[in-house]
């Protein structure tokens, strides 16, 4: 694979080396954010077990677009960790690393001989981050789970939906990213700062269900002391005019006109300033107003409403398709949508929002399995003869 940019990382983490043992979404997205901050991220991959992200469609030039975007800028070393030689190589990599990220169920890394207690003896400055569904301790520690389960157990799903309809699925993985990836990155950055003063590493236990529970920031304390929120009962879950409304051609508009000045602007634009008093009613008492708004929005097409609200600052925006969002001037201007070349073919991906704060960071695309094995292990002092012996024993895999 040829890419337009090199791996010449800059940015605030340009001296930080990260070993990434994770697959799928939470860990890889966390390390992608570290890449966007300039860190050198090395994916430690199995030579034989395929990362599912690499085969998920759609494909471009035979490669998964999801993998290419999510694992951008990361190097790849392929090592069989179930062999004594592979375990030794992993420990030698750890001796020079600053951070390790893994996403196995509790106990897997210990069985491999790569748990924090063992590796902290190899490198006392190592920051070791484990991302799991339910944490390293507690009755659910070894239980399987997905994003939908963490949102369910955390109570988030219990009021994320409409009255009479029940919980609704989100198009993005809220608990995986907001409850897993983001807390992992924050904890890693805090541990790196702490290490400057302490000289010691730290073990970080990141639970996606913990993170999902913490997302109830506006409602948890009130629920603990009073009644828990339910569908359509709050200002922000369709209990007020704050909602989505369908246009005459089946598209949708988002209305966030909660504050009085925005509600006034909305209703004046719609030609019904006399409805303003109803917009001040508490949740669950705006049903009549919402019915009238539904009828008004159904009277014009999506394009017509976009034109109407384009110059009106009242928190009304169109619901864009993802393709439309990628082409929107807002994100184009912010520089979040990136374009690179894969074998002279254009590849578009979305960088993390951190990249706009540190635009000097240079990131290339995802590397092939084992593409950097020889270089990385060579930097550890292994000779070509030793590398060839390891290849012949299927301890490592190189892509030359």
Residue 3 has pLDDT above 60, yes or no: no
pLDDT tens for 359-389 read 877 788 889 999 999 999 999 999 999 999 9
Tell me the C-alpha distance between 129 and 187, whole Å. 8
Return the higher-pLDDT residue of 134 and 50.
134
CATH of segment(s) 17-215+337-393: 3.40.50.10540
Q: Say yes or no to pLDDT of 32 above 60.
A: yes
Residue spans of the domains in the chain: they are: 17-215+337-393, 243-319
Q: 36-75 in b/e burial notation, b at 16+ Cβ within 10 A?
A: bbbbbbbbbbbbeeebebbeeeeeeeebbbbbbbbbbbbb
**CA gap 21, 8 in Å, rounded:** 22
Report the candidate in 155, 133, 102, 103 with the shortest Cα–Cα distance to residue 208: 133
Over the stretch 169-221, which tens digit does the pLDDT of each residue have? 999 999 999 999 999 999 999 999 999 999 999 999 999 999 999 999 999 99
pLDDT band at 50 (very low <50, low <70, confident <90, very high): confident
Contact status, residue 158 vs residue 131, Cβ threshold 8 Å = no
In this prediction, residue 2 has a pLDDT band, given cuts at 50, 70 and 90, of: very low
DSSP SS3 for 350: strand
* Three-state secondary-structure class, residue 60: strand
* Average pLDDT of the segment spanning 91-97: 98
CATH 3.40.30.10 fits 243-319, yes or no: no
> Are residues 23 and 52 in contact, defined by beta-carbon separation less than 8 angstroms?
yes
Mean pLDDT to the nearest integer, 56-72: 90
Enter the tokens of residue 346. 């254009």
What tens digit of pLDDT does each residue of 132-149 get? 999 999 999 999 999 999
Pairing of strands 337-342, 316-318: unpaired
Distance CA 392, CA 148 (A): 43
CA angle 226, 231, 233 (to 5 degrees): 55
**Catalytic residue (choose from 88, 146, 249, 310):** 146
Length, in residues, of the chain: 400
8 Å CB contact between 35 and 73? yes
In sequence order, the β-bridge partners of residue 59 are: 64
Q: How far apart are CA 23 and CA 29, in angstroms?
A: 9
SS (H, E, C) 379-397: HCCCCHHHHHHHHHCCCEE
Q: What is the pLDDT of residue 6?
A: 42
Nearest-10 crossing angle of helices 26-36, 182-198:
60
3-class SS of residue 343: coil
Residue 21: pLDDT band with limits 50, 70, 90: very high
| Residue of higher predicted confidence among 251 and 9 | 251
Do residues 35 and 7 touch, judged by C-beta distance below 8 A? no
119 CB-side CA count, 13 A: 32
Tokens of 241: 């005019």
Return d(Cα 168, Cα 148) in angstroms, integer.
Answer: 10
CA distances from 11 to 35, 42, 364 (A): 9, 17, 14
Catalytic residue among 147, 176, 210, 364: 176
What whole-number percentage of the chain has pLDDT above 70? 98
Cβ neighbour number for residue 400 with a 10 Å cutoff: 6
176 in catalytic set: yes
For residues 120 and 96, the answer to whether their CB atoms sit within 8 Å is no
Reading the block at residue 310, the tokens are 């384009």
Q: In the predicted model, what is the mean pLDDT of the chain? A: 94
């Amino acid at each position: 694979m040829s890419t337009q940019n090199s791996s010449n990382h800059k940015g605030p983490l340009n001296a930080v080396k990260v070993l990434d043992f994770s697959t799928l979404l939470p860990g890889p997205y966390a390390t992608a954010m570290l890449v966007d901050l300039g860190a050198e991220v090395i994916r430690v991959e199995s030579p034989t077990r395929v990362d599912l992200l690499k085969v998920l469609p759609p494909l471009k030039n035979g490669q998964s677009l999801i993998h290419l975007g999510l694992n951008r800028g990361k190097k790849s070393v392929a090592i069989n960790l179930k062999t004594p030689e592979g375990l030794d190589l992993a420990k030698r990599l750890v001796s020079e690393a600053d951070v390790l990220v893994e996403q196995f169920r509790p106990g897997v890394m210990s069985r491999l001989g790569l748990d924090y207690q063992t590796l902290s003896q190899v490198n006392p400055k190592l920051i070791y981050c484990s991302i799991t569904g339910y944490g390293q301790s507690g009755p659910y520690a070894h239980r399987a789970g997905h994003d939908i389960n963490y949102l369910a157990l955390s109570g988030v799903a219990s009021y994320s939906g409409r009255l009479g309809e029940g919980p609704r699925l989100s198009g993005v993985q809220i608990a995986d990213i907001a409850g897993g990836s983001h807390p992992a990155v924050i904890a890693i950055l805090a541990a790196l700062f702490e290490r400057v003063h302490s000289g010691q590493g730290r073990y970080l236990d990141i639970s996606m269900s913990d993170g999902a529970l913490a997302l109830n920031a506006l409602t948890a304390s009130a629920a603990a002391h009073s009644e828990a929120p339910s569908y359509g009962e709050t200002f922000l879950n369709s209990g007020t005019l704050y909602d989505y409304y369908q246009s005459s051609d089946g598209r949708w508009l988002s209305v966030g006109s909660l504050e009085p000045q925005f509600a006034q602007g909305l209703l004046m634009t719609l030609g019904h300033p006399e409805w303003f008093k109803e917009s001040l009613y508490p949740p669950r008492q705006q049903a009549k107003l919402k019915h009238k708004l539904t009828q008004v929005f159904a009277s014009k097409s999506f394009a017509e409403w976009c034109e109407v609200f384009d110059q009106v600052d009242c928190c009304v925006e169109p619901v864009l398709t993802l393709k439309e969002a990628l082409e929107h001037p807002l994100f184009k201007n912010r520089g979040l949508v990136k374009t690179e070349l894969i074998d002279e073919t254009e590849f578009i991906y979305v960088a993390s929002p951190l990249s706009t704060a540190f635009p000097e960071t240079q990131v290339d695309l995802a590397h092939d399995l084992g593409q950097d094995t020889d270089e990385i292990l060579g930097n550890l002092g292994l000779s070509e003869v030793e590398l060839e012996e390891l290849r012949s024993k299927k301890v490592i895999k190189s892509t030359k």
